[in-house]
Structure 1
Amino acid sequence: MYLPASFRQEDLAELHLQMRQSRLATLVCQGADGLVASHLPLLLEAGEGEYGTLYGHFAKANPQWRALADGAEALVVFNGPDAYVSPAWYAAKAEHGKVVPTWNYIAVHAYGQAEVFDDAERLLQLVGRLSDQHEAGRPQPWALSDAPRDYIDAMLRAIVGFALPIRRIEGKWKLGQNRSQADQAGVREGLAGSADGRDRELAQRMAPTL
């Protein structure tokens, strides 16, 4: 990832927080026929390894897991909020007009090699934890025990799990840190007034940089 120093995020706790907030990750690796990618919900175990370990699963019919089993390095992308930035929001527009559009965003890239597994009990634990993570907060959370065990066992036979210790991690918080305080304030105010909730979310994330 192109990572200018002004946008680099190196606080591991912040990186982990964003990874947990990014509900669907993209896992990319080199397969037998070229680059392949899958979009997956993942679990992060922050205390396992230097940078944490990611857990997830593929459909067994998805050939990408075989590339991981063969030792392919994986890149996992976690996207945060993003927004178009209009030059009209910059104070510099009124001063000299030398401004152009850009895009502000938050992203985390994690790299590593995965261990692939199909042990039924390990898969059951993984799927249960993923379900609990995303059911949390619902008035009546669904649990694996709500479904017949023979049905769950059949579903488990159709997936392959993986554990991916993170060997390298990069975070990019492109929030206008290279602009003047006045320009940053203008962008934050412009995004905060948007009808798009994603714009307003990014405005909130810009506040600590001012």
Structure 2
Amino acid sequence: MEKGYKILIADDEPDILEILSYNLEKEGYTVITAKDGDEAIDKAYQHKPNLIILDMMMPKKTGVQVCQVLRGQTAFKDTLIMFLTALNDEVTQVRGLETGADDYVSKPVSPKVLLSRVAALLRRVQKDHSKAVKVGNISIDPEKFLVQIEDKEIVLAKKEFELLYLLALKPGRVFLRNEILNAIWGNDVIVGDRTIDVHIRKIRQKLDMDCITTVKGVGYKFEI
């Protein structure tokens, strides 16, 4: 895991800020802290972190309110956001995800669990996931969000593009269904069992070629 990422933590409990900062810095991350919602927004604008960790219940603005403010700004549209919550119930978790959060961790926070979840989230922005891929006559450019078959451009929806790109990064490798769901939709986002099948079918139709093989009872692989 490449380090050097900037992480902003906002929590009104000094002990939590101290222990989380210590553990994250020990792993090589640059950590910025804030003690309330307003300060979290100010420091987010100031430092442009790769990941923002927000306590759901903070003074001045709650974590949900901070998330809503930031997600409303183009600069933070793709910034990773994680919630810390003592309210360990499904309604709270779903509300946080609907607001635009990418993940949440329940309090009391285990530093080991937090580090694992942070690493998993940041894998989404590693440099090797921005490289263009060419397999056969198909070119996929994630920076331009462009799929081309020879000289013909193919328009895919966001999740269709992400799914195709994931599979095309490693042609011939079988990706498990759960692996795909976690990579494209996230660990905690609840989607239907047929979600992947629907997206695969749409990709095949739009590309007008059967380059994604279903491995029955296992998953999918990209091959030409």
Shorter-chain TM-score category? Answer: under 0.3
Larger proportion of helix: 2
TM-score when normalising by structure 2? 0.22
Considering Cα pairs closer than 8 Å and 6+ residues apart, tell me whether 1 or 2 has the greater RCO.
1
TM-score when normalising by structure 1? 0.23
Larger Rg: 1
Larger proportion of strand: 1
